[in-house]
Structure 1
Amino acid sequence: MAVVMMAVVAQCAAASIEDSVKHVRDLRQQADSLSRAGAKATPTDLQRATALLEEAQRHLNEAAQATGNPSLRLESYNNLLPLAALYSRQGRKQEALAALDQTRTMLWYPAAAQMLSTDTDFDAIRKEPRFQSVLAASALPERLWQGPASAQPYKDALTVEERIAGLTQFWTEARHSFVYFDKVPELDWDKVYMDYLPRVMAAQTTRDYYAVMRQLAPLLRDGHTNIWAPGELSSEFEAVPPLRTTLVEGRVLVEFVDDAALPVRVGDELLAIDSVPVHEYARQHVDPLISAGAPQDREFQTYTTALLRGRAADPVTLRLRAANGKEREEKIARNAGYHWPEAPQFKLLANGVAYIRIDHFSDDSGLKAFEAALPQILKARSLIIDMRRNGGGNGEIGLKILSYLTHKPIISAVSYIRGDDAYLRASSGPLVRWTQLAGMPYVQAREQVYDGPVAVLSGPQTYSASEDFVVTYAIMQRGLTLGEATGGSTGQAINFKLPGGGVARVCAKRDTFPDGREFVGIGVPPQIAVKQTVAGLRAGRDAVLERALAELSGR
């Protein structure tokens, strides 16, 4: 009973916080409409706007004291800045400065520093020492979190100090922010630093340096934790021939050829690369550079996206076996690359089945395609959403699409960040405290909702925000999932620059199902597992789609 009561209290508190935020934002919007009338804003308008923000601030102070919720402090920060601006415009200097002083105890934010520097609303207090102090504090994080040599542009050879600075920056960012050390319990991160230090010191060129650094992030075994070499070195590390391979039934097959003149055919089996048996080549030359936790993600990256990467100047020699068993060798240039064909995003299949393929959430094109097809989807007997090639992007786009499938609020994954700080370490010793991010069900009322049978197709390339889509769909229990397990990698990464123009990221948010089940490093398994076969690939068949159609036809 006590557990139930605690859950009810938590739900009520969350609802109360949501109501408080909504109330405060409504007040702030009213105040903004009064104060942002430019020259037409009268003294009375400014007084009314100020009173609204003061009321909002009182409400936030009371709500924060009652709940202890840290998100309300951030909402308070967003309220105090415009309140300080209004005080300043009315010549109430001390009140303006006092409001700004409060913000300094909540957040130091470079974007606010830029606003404070240029907004004429603060002209009346701009020369005040207290204003200058807030301005300086707000600008600090940009310098504080920048690596000691991260601004160094590309050059053929970095200094030893710059190379050490880059190693230290990545190592430190991971130690402070990485959220999946428990998934690599055998990894001694301190020893990693000491092992890599002489290696980066010995690297004579920037190319050599990044050849070393590219092996560092994979030790953390996370798909959202990576190091990429500068763009100037892409021809050294990232060049690929105009074809794509895949692992099917333990064999590496050519899945796609982008150049008709290439002496390679879809369905050819790859036996060796540069005279090294293909699986041995993958273990030696590819796997050490793969940042992945889930086995299916590692397999996909190893045998599809990274297998044939290398120097553009070095052609790759492939030992191939055709479908008829005949073997041959072909030397293929690496500098072309391939462009995966874009199939129609929406089409009607037999028996009134609507099919839509959404390959990314990097923009809202998938959402627009879904909405454009909605009249036909609403009339369809059933719906298939193909997410097998969706590498992610903006997760809100997925929520908007899912909102066309239900009238209910949508519940997503639960997110956590590390909350360990210097004070906790000083008072309690070494520890890691997990803080759950506040999250409310997604609500988007739709005039028209599709309520027929739905199937979602997934695979190891279903990644990041698209994996969030599959997780949310599974929580909704809206319909079938078919294919293979998702990539097992999502989260929010901290992105930063490295010396010489390289870039890196470290995953700083961990996600689980609401009941605590893990899927990062594991993947979300489909309800019906279907894999491609050698015969199916060579025949041009889509076994997953065929099974989805068969399942939906029986419903």
Structure 2
Amino acid sequence: MKKITFFFLLFLSQITFGQAKITENEKLAATCKVWGFLKYYHPVVAAGKTNWDEQLFKVLPKIEKASTKEEYSLVIEKWIDELGEVPVNKPLADDPKRDYFDKNFSLDWTQKDKLFSKNLSKKLKFITENRFQGANYYVNRDGKETVPLQFVNEPEYAEFQWTDKNLRLLALYRFWNYVEYFFPYKYVMDQNWDEALVEIVPQIANPKSEKEFLLAMREISMKLNDSHAATINMDMFKYLGGEKYPAFSTRFVKNKSVIINLANDSLAKIDDLKIGDIITKLDGVSIKDKVEEFSKYSQGSNKPAAAINANFVMFTGNDDEFEIEFIRDNVTSVKKVHRYPNEKIKRTPPKSSTKKWEILDQNIGLIRMSKVPKGDVPQMMEELKNTKSIIFDVRARPTETDFLVSDYLNSEPKPILRSLYQDLSYPGRYYFNNVMQECGKINTDYYKGKVIVLVGPGTHSFGEQTAMSLQTAPNATVIGTQTSGADGPNYLFTIIKGFDSSFTSSGVFYPNKKETQRIGIVPDITVKPTILGVQQGKDEVFERAVLFAKTGK
């Protein structure tokens, strides 16, 4: 009798386990992955032979009713079957001349997801093995090397309303799968992309308010840890920062914000603000904690880059006043300061030299790369060719000089970088371009002096590639702080009506495949700004560069 009871209980437990309840979030996350996989792999969907958005809207009510793994899998299986038979289609053999990159690539989830029956996993595996091989209806290249992919044929839904659950989920599903298959730096993100989906689904599927939905759409793009990545919606600004601004600018230094610029004297007098004031708290919260809070919605490949954006946004708002705790002359005080609509702030442009290049004391050249057009490069290098050092300031975005400067710094062509592109015949896989980007030319009369490159958080994207080209010079030294860490072209696209987004669309690596994304250009000499230096208006990075130019130390 005991044996009969034992086996009965065992049998009952197996039935119970097999029919375990599944949550809405689990179903919606799994559906997102299946929907994207079929979009790029199934021959009917990838060829654009069905309205894939409408197919999603039709299946969602059926998915909502499924309460067990078995019921869910049957819904998905039937969905796939209704698309038609997948013909046997032996994939093209890999090109032996291509250098493939698989760090982003894994379809293991199709065989391991806890919501999938064995039969469903078998169907997904068959589709993988007989995947679509033609030009995908939803993604292609536009023929420009700088933008190696485009998302196309995606209806924008002009009548989009945030209260429409189907369209909210569509927006999330589109973006998540864009990243899953076409973001080259997915593998270096802080959070696993599958985990990010599970975390964000509830805020998209059942938001408590418009604010929660909009900020969730912003937050999911911030999880890319990419200074190029940001989702923007005009209504977001009601909740993220605001529409009014303080009459000052700050720099984030050692977990404090130092006022570095005042909009104009009259507004500064109203609140008794002074350059050099050290703000330690904002509305009773430490600046460090405020930056951490806003970094959740601030784009940045690394913490310094995100902190710069957060430092700006956290002072904006919709209220006319806010409270700061600040230090002036070693005295800590608390007071209210004002915010203004942007049109009421007549901003005084920051003082800076208008010279594109010049020769400093002791025969040291200085080039402000943000001011030099391509056509001026020959004249500039001719005037500076006899200097003992040239300081190239790349802390603000350079003009499009196309690495022409390196023609004068190298004796022969040098490789700068290698690019990583999406393999559109096998979504999720990438390959390195066979031809590396080079700079320089055969030049026996190349510049023999010190090449000093100034970098910082403002050294971003093309600026980072410019720094990489200058590093190829025989006597190059990089001075400054960590750069933006977003190296590669920025691809702008629309997710759905009202939501524009972007991310780095192709990878950029050093010739030896050393990474630059998130890491940035690593200085040979690190110089971090100090509060005292900021208060005194010093350019500490530049001063260190001049010292190095003079002494070699």
Q: How many residues align?
A: 409
8 Å CA contact 1:310–1:334 kept in 2: the answer is: no
| Structure showing the higher strand proportion among its residues | 2
Say whether residues 1:152 and 2:158 are aligned partners.
Answer: yes
Secondary structure at 2:421 match in 1: strand
Counterpart position of 2:109: none
* Alignment partners' CA distance in 1, 2:249 and 2:550: 33
- 1:295–1:522 Cα contact (<8 Å) kept: no
Superposed displacement of residue 314, structure 1: 4.9
TM-aligned CA deviation for residue 478 of structure 1: 3.6
| Cα distance per residue 1:93-134 (max 9 Å; x no partner) | xxxxxxxxxxx9789999999xxxxxxxxxxxxxxxxxxxxx
Shift of 1:173: 0.5
Which letter maps to 1:523?
G
Give the deviation of 1:203 after TM superposition.
Answer: 4.8
AA aligned to 2:283 is D
In the alignment, which residue of structure 2 is the partner of 1:167? 172
Helix, strand or coil: the match of 2:264?
coil
Percent pairwise identity:
17
Contact in 1 for aligned 2:249/2:260 (Cα 8 Å)? yes
Cα distance in structure 1, aligned partners of 2:543 and 2:252 = 20
TM-score, with structure 1 as normaliser: 0.64
SS at match of 1:537: helix
Q: What SS class does the counterpart of residue 223 from structure 2 fall into?
A: helix
Q: Structure 2: how far apart are the matches of 1:195 and 1:326?
A: 41
**Does residue 317 of the first structure (1) align with residue 323 of the second (2)?**
yes
Are 1:386 and 2:393 matched, yes or no?
A: yes
Describe how 1:359-374 pairs up with structure 2 within 5 A.
Answer: 359=370, 365-368=372-375, 370-371=377-378, 373-374=380-381
Residues 173-218 of structure 1: CA deviation (Å, up to 9, x unaligned): 011111222223652x344334433323445876653222111111
Q: Deviations over 1:336-368 (max 9, x none)?
A: 3765555323333222222122338xxxx5435
Matched, 1:183 2:193: no
Structure 1 position 326, deviation (Å): 4.4
Q: Which 5+ residue runs of structure 2 have no aligned equivalent? A: 1-94, 100-132, 144-148
Identify the match of residue 276 of structure 1 among 275, 282, 285: 285
- Per-residue Cα deviation, 1:35-77 (whole angstroms, up to 9, x for no partner): xxxxxxxxxxxxxxxxxxxxxxxxxxxxxxxx97689xxxxxx
In the alignment, which of 242, 247, 250 is matched to residue 245 of structure 1? 250
The aligned runs of 1:58-207 (5 Å cut-off) are 145-148=152-155, 150=156, 152=158, 157=162, 159-184=164-189, 186-187=191-192, 189-203=193-207
Aligned with residue 210 of structure 1, among 210, 214, 217: 214
Q: Which has the higher helix share?
A: 1
Deviations 1:263-313 (A, max 9, x none): 3222111111122221122222x111123232332333333x4342444x5
* Distance apart, 1:456 and its partner CA: 1.0
Query: Structure 2 residue aligned with 1:513, among 482, 507, 510?
Result: 510
Partner of 2:83: none
Consecutive unaligned residues of structure 1, counting only runs of 5 or more, are: 1-66, 72-103, 114-140, 426-430
Deviations 1:117-158 (A, max 9, x none): xxxxxxxxxxxxxxxxxxxxxxxx98x73434x3527x7756
Structure 2 residue 295 is matched with structure 1 residue 287: yes
Q: After TM superposition, give the deviation of residue 498 of structure 1 in Å.
A: 2.8
RMSD (CA atoms): 3.7
**Structure 1 residue 300 corresponds to structure 2 residue 305:** no
Indicate how the Cα distance of structure 1 residues 401 and 203 shifts in structure 2: closer, same or farther if over 3 A, else same.
farther
SS of corresponding position for 1:524: coil
Match of 1:474 among 449, 471, 474: 471
The one-letter amino acid paired with 1:301 is N
Tell me what 2:231 maps to.
227
Residue of structure 1 aligned with 2:353, choices 343, 364, 367: 343
Please state how far the C-alpha of 1:449 moved relative to its aligned partner.
Answer: 5.1
Distance 1:290 1:234, change over 3 A: closer
Does structure 1 conserve the Cα–Cα contact (< 8 Å) formed by 2:417 and 2:510?
yes
Aligned to 1:358: 369
DSSP-derived class of the 1:289 partner: coil
Residue 421 of structure 2 corresponds to 417
1:170: how far off? 0.8
Q: Distance in 1 between matches of 2:208 and 2:191?
A: 31
Q: Contact 2:479 / 2:526 at 8 angstroms: preserved in 1? A: yes
Which whole-Å CA distance do the structure 2 matches of 1:105 and 1:436 have between them? 21
Which digits, 9 at most, give the CA deviation of each residue in 1:485-508, with x for residues without a partner? Answer: 222221234321133322111333
Would the aligned equivalents of 2:140 and 2:152 in 1 still touch at CA under 8 Å? no
Residues 229-263 of structure 1: CA deviation (Å, up to 9, x unaligned):
23x65565464434222232443212222322323
Structure 2 residue corresponding to 1:329, chosen from 314, 320, 335: 335
Structure 1 stretches of 4+ with a deviation exceeding 6 A read: 67-71, 104-113, 445-448
3-state SS, counterpart of residue 298 of structure 1: helix
Describe the shift of the 1:467–1:180 C-alpha distance in structure 2 as closer, same or farther (beyond 3 A). same
> How far apart are residue 547 of structure 1 and its match?
1.7
- Say whether the 8 Å CA contact 1:203–1:209 is kept in structure 2: yes
CA contact (8 A) 1:147 1:165 kept: no
| Range with greater deviation from structure 2 (213-222 or 440-449) | 440-449
How far apart are the structure 1 equivalents of 2:225 and 2:183?
11
In structure 2, the CA distance between the partners of 1:182 and 1:447, relative to structure 1 (3 Å rule), is same
Q: Secondary structure at the match of 2:324?
A: strand
Q: Is the 8 A contact 2:464 2:483 kept in 1?
A: yes
> Deviation per CA, 1:433-489, whole angstroms, max 9, x where unpaired?
544453252356789854432211111221111111112222334422111122222
Corresponding residue of 2:79: none
User: Is residue 163–residue 499 contact of structure 1 (8 Å, CA) maintained in 2?
Assistant: no
Evaluate the alpha carbon distance shift between residue 347 and residue 243 of structure 1 in structure 2; reply closer, same or farther with a 3 A threshold: farther
Match of 1:412, SS? strand
Whether contact under 8 Å (1:156, 1:206) holds in the other structure is no
Q: Is the 8 A contact 2:409 2:473 kept in 1?
A: no
Q: Equivalents in 1 of 2:154, 2:536: separation in Å?
A: 52
Change (3 A) 1:438 1:204: farther
Structure 1 residue matching 2:309: 3-state secondary structure: helix
Counterpart-to-counterpart distance in 2, 1:321 and 1:257: 17
Deviation of the 1:413 alpha carbon: 1.5
Alignment of 1:2-81 (within 5 A): none
Q: CA deviation at 1:222?
A: 1.9
Amino acid at match of 1:536: G
Check the 8 A contact 1:269/1:321 in 2, yes or no: yes
